Amino acid sequence: MKLIVGLGNPGLQYERTRHNVGFMTVDRLADRHARAAIPRGRFNAVTIEASLPGPGGQEEKCLLVKPTTYMNRSGLAVADVVRFYKVDPVADILILVDDLYLPCGTIRLRDSGSAAGHNGLADIQRCLGSDRYARCRIGIDPPVQIPQADYVLGRFTDDQWPLVDTAISKAADAAELFVRSGMTAAMNKFNGKTEDPPARKPASGPPPSSTDPLSS
């Protein structure tokens, strides 16, 4: 069993926003591999059961996951699914997440590492007790003359969208290769020369509440 988790915020008001590019990638995978599947609400998430080509051409059972908590509580869903299925976070989880420090149209895969200031990843790390889990960062461009909170909760521009749509397909391809051949193969194929994003400075003031849609 592999878990492919897209991060985002629930609710119609956040659909197709920059912060929800992880959700959009899960939807792309569901369209490819689980069109007839019925989404289920469980594990603090919406889940879709899918079968993807696995090692040796055998079918691999996968659970596509979109947490129904807000971004900064994404770890609740991940931890619930890990406990239920008793999977190995190191080998069996791939997180799909937006990244401000990557340009639109690009993705970057890592098998471990810091959250780089992203509260969704930070909460997953907190709930799992480790930073050793695979993640695929999907570039959304840094904001220019727009407050970061407004930018990530806004929708892609007409110029950005074709690049983002390509990156979503690329991230879905990377997830398929992760299931079929493992994270090293996916990193070797899809990682370019883009540097890892720097850690963001923590925001001042109290931590966000469980109903805060932001991860900045």
Contact indicator for 135, 97 with CB cutoff of 8 Å: yes
- Which of 3, 9, 14, 19 does the annotation list as catalytic? 19
Structure tokens at 207: 């931590």
Closest CA to 168 of 29, 15, 17: 29
Query: Rounded CA gap, 76 and 146, in Å?
Result: 31
Closest CA to 167 of 197, 140, 195: 140
Q: Is there a catalytic annotation at residue 118?
A: no
Give the ranges where 10-138 is alpha helix by DSSP (H).
Answer: 21-33, 74-85, 89-92, 119-128
Buried b (16+ CB within 10 A) or exposed e, 18-27: bbbbbbbbbb
The single residue listed with the structure tokens 């869903």 is 77
Contact indicator for 109, 135 with CB cutoff of 8 Å: yes
Residues taking part in catalysis: 19
